[in-house]
Amino acid sequence: MASMTQERFEAYAEAFGGDVSRWPAEAREAAALLMAEQPAMTNGALARAGRLDAALDAWRTAPAGATLIGRILDTAPRSRRGWRLWLSPAVLGAGLAAACAAGVIVGVQLSDRASDASEVAVANTLSAVSSPSLDLGEGA
C-alpha cells in the first residue's frame, strides 16, 4: 500500500468530499493510515470538505409526479400476452376496479407534496398508477 501525503489527502478531500467512504477505493486504506497518524490535519480537511457537502445536500430536487410516471408507462413496451388478457371481460372488470382505486390513492398522494423522498414517491405512485394493461402480466 502506497503512503499518502498531506497534500494528496487534502486533494482527495477537495475532490471527493468529507466522507472517506466515498473516496476512490484505492485511496481509502492509505487515507485511514494518515488519519490515524495526523488526526488534527485530516479531521480539519474532512470537516472543511464536509461543510461544502452539507451545503450541496441542501439542494433537494422535486420528485417525479404521477403525471410524468403515467406518461412514461404509456410509452413502455407491452407483451402480446398482456394485451390479449386485457381484452378478456374478467380482466376488464378488474382493471376498471383497480383504476378507480388508483384514482383515490393518487388523489391522496397528490395532496401530500411535502415529501422530498423521490424514490419513495415514485415507488408509491407506481403501485397506485399502474395502467390496467401494464398490470396484466403479473400472476398470469
Partner 1 sequence: MGEADPDEELLARVAEGDPAAVRAMVGRKLPRLMSLAQRMLGEAAEAEDVAQEAFLRIWKQAPRWQPGRAKFDTWLHRVALNLCYDRLRRRREIVTEDPPEQIDSGPGPDRGLQAQDVAVRVSQALARLPDRQREAIVLCHYQELGNIEAAAVMGVSVEALESLLGRGRRALRVALADMVER
For the bound state, the minimum distance from the C-beta of residue 137 to partner 1, rounded and expressed in Å, comes to 4
Binding of residue 77 to partner 1 (CB under 8 A): yes
Binding of residue 5 to partner 1 (CB under 8 A): no
Residue 96: CB partners within 8 Å, gap ≥ 6? 132
For the bound state, the minimum distance from the C-beta of residue 15 to partner 1, rounded and expressed in Å, comes to 4
Which of 33, 39, 72, 107 touches partner 1 (CB under 8 A)?
72
Q: What is the CA radius of gyration of the chain?
A: 25
Q: How far apart are the first and last CA of the chain?
A: 55
Q: Among 59, 57, 72, which residue's Cα sits nearest to residue 122?
A: 72
Binding of residue 90 to partner 1 (CB under 8 A): no
Q: How far apart are CA 86 and CA 94, in angstroms?
A: 10
Which of 5, 43, 71, 108 touches partner 1 (CB under 8 A)?
71
CB 59 within 8 A of CB 118: no
Q: How far apart are CA 30 and CA 2, in angstroms?
A: 7
Q: Segment 11-70, which members bind partner 1 (CB under 8 A)?
A: 11-12, 14-17, 22, 24-25, 48-49, 51-56, 58-65, 68-69
Q: Contact positions toward partner 1, by CB under 8 A?
A: 11-12, 14-17, 22, 24-25, 48-49, 51-56, 58-65, 68-69, 71-73, 75-80, 82, 118-119, 121-123, 126, 130, 133-138
